[in-house]
Amino acid sequence: MNYFREYRRSLNLERYESGREFLIDMKATLSSREIERLKVLKHHMRVGRYQHVLSVSYLSYMLARERGLSYIETARGALLHDLYYYDWTQRDKRPKRHNRLHPSIALKNAESAFELTPLEREIIASHMWPIAQPRPESAEAKIVNRMDKVCSNLEIAYSLFSGKKSSVRFKKEKQ
């Protein structure tokens, strides 16, 4: 899979057939209040948390589907992997051990709002390995763990080098 191409597609999903399929498969989760709340949160520089989970989820969906894995659970776990509602970019607003703690905070939030499968739980809990435990064991959790890092790096690169018109920019007016 071409990560760069799929990452660019994740910024404009309606335009591509695979993106439209993803949006249909994830419709129920994407239209939830819990995911909606992510739209006003910052995440990586100019990229908001909603766009981040959307990109991680879409890339994971494509890779899992290509490999004949459980791509629906992979995408759903990925959509919920950063389901917490504080601004981690501000020291006074985040818990002291944010990097280690936020997977379990996200898991708790996801469990209270959705019916999760064991695989979705594992995906959320292990997405920060090796910074935080546990280590991803399933192929699906390994994919999300890796796509989280791929997308995070691309988001920072796009924030630094993309022009004013780039759709990846975090839209401040939506805050």
Region binding Fe ion by CB under 5 A among candidate stretches 28-36, 75-83, 87-95, 163-171: 75-83
Task: Tell me, rounded to whole angstroms, the distance of Cα 41 from its chain centroid.
Answer: 13
Residues 105-119 as b/e (b if ≥16 CB within 10 A, e otherwise) read bbbebbeeebebeeb
CB of 20 or CB of 108, closer to Fe ion: 108
Among 6, 82, 120, 122, the residue binding Fe ion under the rule CB under 5 A is: 82
Number of residues that bind Fe ion (CB under 5 A): 2
CB of 138 to Fe ion, least distance (A): 18
Residues near 46 by beta carbon (within 8 Å), at least 6 away in sequence: 158, 159, 162, 168, 169, 170
CB of 68 to Fe ion, least distance (A): 25
- Cβ-contact 46, 168 below 8 angstroms: yes
Q: Restricting to residues 119-148, which ones interact with Fe ion according to CB under 5 A?
A: 148
155 contacts Fe ion (rule: CB under 5 A):
no
Q: By CB under 5 A, name the binding residues for Fe ion.
A: 82, 148
